[in-house]
Amino acid sequence: MPDEIVYSNRYEDVNYVYREVFLPEEVVNKLPKPLRLLTEEEWRDLGVQQSQGWIHYLIYPSEPNVLLFRRPKGT
């Protein structure tokens, strides 16, 4: 399943580095209901693979297949 997860390029502002992760439908069906921010353990259990320090910080209810992550610059 991790092969089907798509990771955006990183982009940044003054404080943070950002990344979007696009989940396949099979993984979206495993998301908790109601939708909420995931802990690192939860998103790793879904198959998302990233280095340490990323935080799931925002949800688009209309696009549950997109997880938005950020981490402080310099980490």
Look at residue 1 and tell me whether its pLDDT is greater than 60: no
Q: Which DSSP category does 22 fall into?
A: E
β-partners of residue 20 are 68
Q: Give the pLDDT score at 39.
A: 97
Contacts with 28 (C-beta within 8 Å, 6 or more apart), sequence order:
64, 65
pLDDT digits (tens, 9 = 90+) for 6-45: 999 999 999 999 999 999 999 999 999 999 999 999 999 9
CATH superfamily of 2-72: Cyclin-dependent kinase, regulatory subunit (3.30.170.10)
At a CB cut-off of 8 Å and minimum separation 6, what does 64 contact? 28, 31, 35
Tokens of 49: 């693979």
